[in-house]
């Protein structure tokens, strides 16, 4: 069976070509993200991190102000907005051609930022399940939308009940089939699927999902994979996130082989090189 996966994303008139995989670089304006080197907390750090992402081959800059790691501290809406707004203002001013993604599950934050700065990609870890206004707003304004699979909240997602599936791949694809229909009805045009590695999954579940990632082609949407330095590597190997770069690269190679279109990473240069080498090898494997 042939599946026709969507190959372009329109972000306010900027077309993102996904005919070959691209890199999304992480810029966290949080004090508690699990990987310290992704954090930026001042104008100089934000601009340096943005420049590094672009120079090292990043296509998208993903800016987040609310850590979604397990047991992360709660951040109220006002504080999240107060972290995001100046960071986005700096990026838009100094790197006006950059494609920005905003990592938030709150529709009101998307509304405020969109009204001031124009279009960006919305990266929602809850796929609209944490805020029932999100999908309507994204659809109304034709914003590209990354929908991630999870269960529970960052505080409860690793409970055994949330991590139990009858068939993890089938269950998550079924979730996205229903979600895709909901998004289309709301007018969302550009949908990016994120299986949600590390979110309401056991270590074994993460590895099974990665091994069978090519099953997601049935959804005919671009697939984003976020494996960067996650616990599926550092817990499995009994190392720290700081030591998990090699494991991340290995995981990203498998993700690329199995159909990933966007790699969301902390280490942009390494991911860019991984894609280039993978594509070069692929030329000779047909």
Active-site annotation, residues? 230, 264
- Secondary structure class of 86 (helix, strand, coil): helix
Furthest C-alpha separation in the chain: 52
- Cα distances from 153 to residues 68, 72, 106, 140, in angstroms, run 9, 10, 14, 26
CB 157 within 8 A of CB 200: yes
Task: Give the span between the Cα atoms of 253 and 231, in whole angstroms.
Answer: 18
- Report which of 65, 67, 68 is spatially closest to residue 80, judged by C-alpha positions: 65
Task: Give the span between the Cα atoms of 256 and 252, in whole angstroms.
Answer: 6
- Secondary structure class of 241 (helix, strand, coil): helix
Scored b (16 or more CB within 10 A) or e, 177-205 reads: eebbeebeebebebbbbbbbbbbbbeeeb
């Amino acid at each position: 069976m042939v599946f026709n996966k969507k190959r372009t994303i329109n972000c306010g008139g900027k077309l993102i070509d996904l005919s070959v995989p691209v890199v999304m670089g992480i810029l966290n304006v949080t004090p508690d993200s699990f990987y310290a080197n992704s954090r930026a907390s001042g104008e100089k750090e934000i601009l340096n991190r943005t420049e590094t992402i672009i120079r090292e081959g990043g296509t998208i800059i993903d800016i987040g102000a609310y850590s979604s790691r397990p047991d992360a501290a709660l951040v109220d809406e006002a504080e999240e907005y107060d972290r995001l707004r100046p960071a986005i203002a700096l990026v838009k001013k100094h790197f006006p051609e950059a494609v920005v993604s905003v990592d938030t599950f709150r529709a009101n934050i998307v509304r405020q930022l969109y009204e001031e700065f124009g279009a960006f990609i919305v990266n929602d870890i809850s796929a609209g399940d944490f805020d029932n206004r999100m999908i309507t707003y994204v659809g109304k304004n034709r914003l590209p939308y990354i929908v991630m699979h999870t269960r529970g909240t960052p505080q409860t997602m690793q409970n055994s009940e949330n991590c139990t599936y009858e068939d993890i791949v089938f269950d998550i694809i079924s979730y996205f089939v229903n979600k895709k229909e909901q998004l289309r009805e709301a007018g969302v045009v550009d949908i990016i699927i994120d299986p949600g590695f590390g979110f309401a999954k056991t270590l074994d579940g993460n590895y099974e999902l990665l091994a069978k990632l090519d099953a997601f082609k049935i959804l005919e949407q671009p697939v984003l994979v976020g494996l960067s330095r996650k616990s599926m590597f550092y817990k499995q190997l009994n190392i720290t996130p700081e030591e998990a770069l090699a494991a991340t690269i290995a995981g990203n190679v498998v993700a690329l082989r199995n159909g990933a279109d966007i790699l969301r990473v902390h280490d942009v240069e390494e991911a860019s090189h991984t894609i280039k080498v993978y594509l070069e090898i692929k030329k000779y494997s047909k």
